Structure 1
Amino acid sequence: MVVNFKVYKKCSPNGKVTLYMGKRDFIDSITTVEPVDGLVVLNDDYVRNNRKIYAQLICHFRYGREEDETMGLNFQKELTLASQQIYPQEKSDVVMTKMQERLLKKLGPNAFPFLLTMPPNSPASITLQQKAGDESQPCGIQYFVKVFAGDSELDRNHRRSSVALGVRKVQYAPTKQGVQPCTIVRKDFLLSPGELELEVTLDKQLYHHGDKIAVNICIRNNSNKIVKKIKAMVQQGVDVVLFQSGQFRHTISSMETTEGCPIQPGSSVQKVVYLQPNLIPNQNRFGIAVEGDPKRRETFLASTTLLSAPECRDAFGIIVSYAVKVKLFLGALGGELCAELPFVLMHPKPTRGKMLPQESAEINDEKIVDYE
């Protein structure tokens, strides 16, 4: 039986250090994260001279634009989450994955495995879209596996013998649906009797990317005001926890309707509207949170950030949330009535052997090698 598998390969500028990885997406299951594993192949000169080789997992967090970095300000942080000396190996009893074992047979004695542990409370890979034509480094959170030769794990001066490959930390949707979202809001008026009641219900709490959201709207007008228009929208919330004012909201899908309007005093209306959050109509909008690198040909809106506990919030660089908002317009004197329901938007967990579209495409100068 022949088994095909794909491997990501990237070489250092001097060609003496080569990094191999079987995948670039690592799953965060809230309490644990998949270990980051791969192999490094060294040139014979490095092996004979016992050059020290290190592998590190780097988290790069940019929270401000490069063009605003003046007077010594620096709007980025780089954290080393894990570090390991690959060669000479400090441990002889290294537990390898099946992919590492297969590659080790193919690549020979100069191949050395590594295993890096990602902290469970580290943030997910999220990038904020830039303006069209902006080539500067985007704001967001990116991860890199960096392999380099040096005298210590802090010695990164030898750039020609260094190689870095981008990886992603992703969360997938839970297998069970939560409680069906529902809310009722009422509004009374100072000089008018009665009240206006708006009830909004979603068909479920958890949606996958590409799903349509069915919004059930029930309006009971027990006031003497007239409802002239109904607007429903999906909003993406982005919270950069580093700033108190770093909270943004973007409407990524909306619809307005006057069907059944005006809603006269004493009458009621019930209807269902459908919304579909999608990146395609929002691709050129500044500040929209997307998964990973927006320069890839295929990407998605950023998934909802799941937290194991509210106190873990500060450990996440960027938190993404979604909500459906329904607004009733009553005219200039009547004002508005709004109802809001949060929901979860995520990818379903892929079946075994199935990869996301991003994993099957060639990216930048990294090569994909097929092995049998």
Structure 2
Amino acid sequence: MVVNFKVFKKCSPNGKINLYMGKRDFVDHISAVEPVEGIIVIDEEYVRERRKIFGQIVCSFRYGREEDEVMGLNFQKELFLASEQIFPSTGKSEKQLSKVQDRLLKKLGENAFPFTFNIPPSAPASITLQQAKDETGEPCGVQYYVKIFAGESETDRTHRRSTVSLGIRKVQYAPSKQGNQPCTVVRKDFMLSPGELEMEVTLDKQLYQHDEKIAINLCIRNHSNKTVKKIKAMVQQGVDVVLFQNGQYRNTISSMETEEGCPLQPGSSLQKVIYLMPSLNSVAQKRGIALDGQLKHQNTNLASTTLLASPDQRDAFGIIVSYAVKVKLFLGALGGELAAELPFVLMHPKPGVKSKLISADSQAEVETFRQETIDQEDED
């Protein structure tokens, strides 16, 4: 059976180095991350001159606006998670080739050379923070890219003419099993007043997919002498920029305020279901919303919940995202309010695995990326 498999290609501005990769999303399984595999094709002149070609996995963390970088300030840090000389081969690490690599090597000829890099499991997820409509420049967040360049050493100053950079993402998918059904009961008593107000909040499940409705089940029992005037339910996104001690904030993604069933008089009870759907469409212009790491020419969505093996596994250069449903009962100016909160998980399901047979007559569907404009003063 002949199978077409997709390949991403990018060429250096001087045309001497071509980068081929079978995919750009690499799944973090919490205990390990899928290896980053690819092929480079080197021009005959570089091969003949034995020019050294290096490859790196770079994690770029921007924690401040590019337009605020004045007087030498720089709000961006780059972490080199992997680095290796690809050509000439040093023979230090002989890794088994994947089927895509093996097939591309046969198709691309003798000047094609494979590479494999490993991303540490503790590395942060690909997340960007949404910019305001009037903001320009690179968005804040964590981005990854594969960098291939010609030089004398791994630390050599790279020239744009002989450098290829292709963006990739480190992603997580939803676990295969649902967790425990979220449920909480909160109560409020009042000074100088007998009885208490009780609210039970339950979600229909713990794990939701993006753009899926969330059913919030409310059971309110008013054993006090106060009156419930209205009810408000919200889906909130928690963003923790780990680098800063006070870098935690919340965004309201979706909300609903209702007086249906109100006023709830003393001695009464109310059962109600409220539906909310967290979606990027409702906050498309709001600054600071965490989004899944974005690749050029691709749409994105709200950032998925960040799953950690343990609370201590918080990389200092990462952004941790969480979600919670919050429900408030308003009792008027003197009665105050009663609030309950339930965390939940929002993620993409794991894509179905399709077994493909890559045979000798398989065809590669190549998607080519254009290299950014280069500075004229950069030389080989």
TM exceeding 0.5 = yes
* 2:268 paired residue number: 267
User: SS where residue 176 of structure 1 aligns?
Assistant: coil
Distance of aligned partners of 1:19 and 1:123 in 2 relative to their CA distance in 1, 3 Å threshold: same
User: SS where residue 34 of structure 1 aligns?
Assistant: coil
Task: Report whether the alignment pairs 1:212 with 2:213.
Answer: yes
Residue range with higher mean Cα deviation, 125-134 or 287-296 = 287-296
- 1:345-371 CA-partner distances (Å, limit 9, x unpaired): 0010001249xxxxx9979637xxxxx
Task: Report whether the alignment pairs 1:291 with 2:292.
Answer: yes
TM-score of the superposed pair, with normalisation by structure 2: 0.92
User: SS where residue 298 of structure 1 aligns?
Assistant: coil
* 2:165 paired residue number: 164
Structure 2: segments with no counterpart, 5+ residues: 356-364, 372-380
Q: How does 1:89-238 map to 2 (within 5 A)?
A: 89-91=89-91, 93-238=94-239
How far the C-alpha of 1:68 sits from its partner, in A, is 2.3
User: SS where residue 47 of structure 2 aligns?
Assistant: helix
Distance of aligned partners of 1:261 and 1:207 in 2 relative to their CA distance in 1, 3 Å threshold: same
Q: How does 1:1-372 map to 2 (within 5 A)?
A: 1-91=1-91, 93-293=94-294, 296-315=297-316, 317-353=318-354, 365=370
Supply the AA of the counterpart residue of 1:277: P
User: SS where residue 101 of structure 1 aligns?
Assistant: helix
Confirm or deny: 8 A CA contact 2:10 2:369 kept in the other structure.
no
How far the C-alpha of 1:94 sits from its partner, in A, is 3.7
User: SS where residue 95 of structure 1 aligns?
Assistant: coil
How far the C-alpha of 1:135 sits from its partner, in A, is 2.2
Supply the AA of the counterpart residue of 2:146: V
Distance of aligned partners of 1:189 and 1:241 in 2 relative to their CA distance in 1, 3 Å threshold: same
Confirm or deny: 8 A CA contact 2:227 2:263 kept in the other structure.
yes
Supply the AA of the counterpart residue of 2:208: Y
- 1:75-94 CA-partner distances (Å, limit 9, x unpaired): 11100000111100112844
TM-score of the superposed pair, with normalisation by structure 1: 0.94
Q: Distance in 2 between matches of 1:303 and 1:316?
A: 18
How far the C-alpha of 1:314 sits from its partner, in A, is 3.8
How far the C-alpha of 1:66 sits from its partner, in A, is 1.6
Confirm or deny: 8 A CA contact 2:123 2:315 kept in the other structure.
no
How far the C-alpha of 1:127 sits from its partner, in A, is 0.3
Structure 1: segments with no counterpart, 5+ residues: 355-359, 367-372
Question: 1 or 2 for the larger relative contact order (CA 8 Å, sep ≥6)?
Answer: 2
Distance of aligned partners of 1:362 and 1:341 in 2 relative to their CA distance in 1, 3 Å threshold: farther
Confirm or deny: 8 A CA contact 2:243 2:316 kept in the other structure.
no
Distance of aligned partners of 1:100 and 1:211 in 2 relative to their CA distance in 1, 3 Å threshold: same
Q: Distance in 1 between matches of 2:193 and 2:339?
A: 19
Q: Paired residues, what number?
A: 361
User: SS where residue 333 of structure 2 aligns?
Assistant: coil
Q: Distance in 2 between matches of 1:353 and 1:168?
A: 21
Q: Distance in 2 between matches of 1:224 and 1:305?
A: 43
Q: Distance in 2 between matches of 1:362 and 1:139?
A: 27
Q: Percent identity?
A: 70
User: SS where residue 160 of structure 1 aligns?
Assistant: helix
Confirm or deny: 8 A CA contact 2:8 2:368 kept in the other structure.
no
* 2:375 paired residue number: none
User: SS where residue 56 of structure 1 aligns?
Assistant: strand
